[in-house]
A and B are shown apart, each in its own frame.
Chain A
Amino acid sequence: GNSVTQMEGPVTLSEEAFLTINCTYTATGYPSLFWYVQYPGEGLQLLLKATKADDKGSNKGFEATYRKETTSFHLEKGSVQVSDSAVYFCALTMNTGFQKLVFGTGTRLLVSP
């Protein structure tokens, strides 16, 4: 079946450090890929998405590129802020029919001043 694998957390960084959170997927076919973020006490929010190979999703300084050859969708940010502390979920859905999100286990990011 379809699945998403994320790097284990927590990821602990100092403010202004470079962030990478790895995400790889297994899917029969070519899915759309998403990053969701969950801030403390809030629901999941869509951060960015990419619907086909080589697409780059970006939002709020975060970026991720859909790499079909490595089945990856790694999340990056050049300079993190304390306010970026949250749990980040990578997810996929197949592009046929209705959306059925399959999530990874999440990666907690802690940014210290």
Chain B
Amino acid sequence: EAGVVQSPRYKIIEKKQPVAFWCNPISGHNTLYWYLQNLGQGPELLIRYENEEAVDDSQLPKDRFSAERLKGVDSTLKIQPAELGDSAVYLCASSLTGKSGDTQYFGPGTRLTVL
């Protein structure tokens, strides 16, 4: 069974440029998560989707970050414009139902460097 797929694995951009990350969850998983992982820190939730609906986006900086999950399958996270402080690893995860006893499966992440 294929795991969570993310692309690109690495991205280097100049500040003020836009950037987008793509995630394809495990087939059949209704819940999709985007996390931000700063260097030396644990992941922090940015947004959670139940199918195509964003049900928890309280930690997403909405002035520059946006996300979508069209058709309830793969998802895109966008930053526009990027700032130096956005340099981090962006992780995608999915789970079958999102309920508290469920297991989240993580992708390898996209490492973003903003110059």
A58 to B94, CA, bound (A): 23
Number of A interface residues at 8 Å Cβ cutoff, please give it.
26
- Interface residues in B78-115 (C-beta closer than 8 Å to A): 91, 93, 95, 98-109
Complex: chain B residue closest to A46, CB-CB:
B103
Cβ of B105: which chain A residues have Cβ within 8 Å of it? 43, 46
Which of B40, B44, B98, B107 lies in contact with A99, CB distance below 8 A? B98
Partner of A106, one of B41, B55, B95: B41
Give chain B nearest CB distance to A2 CB in angstroms. Answer: 12
Give the interface of A toward B (CB within 8 A): 4, 32, 36, 41-46, 49, 51, 89, 91, 93-101, 103-106
Asked whether, in the complex, the Cβ of B41 is within 8 Å of the Cβ of A98, the reply is: no
Interface string of B1-16 (1 = CB under 8 A from A): 0011000000000000
Which B residues lie at the A interface, using CB under 8 A? 3-4, 31, 40-45, 48, 55-56, 91, 93, 95, 98-109
Residues of chain B within 8 A of A42, CB atoms compared: 108
* A93/B43 in contact, CB under 8 A: no
User: What residues of B have a CB within 8 angstroms of the CB of A91 in the complex?
Assistant: 42
Provide the bound-state CA to CA distance between A32 and B101, in Å. Answer: 8
Partner among A36, A41, A96, A105 whose Cβ is within 8 Å of the Cβ of B40: A105
Partner of A98, one of B40, B42, B93, B98: B98
From known contacts A103-B44, A104-B42, infer whether A41 and B108 are also in contact, taking CB-CB under 8 Å: yes
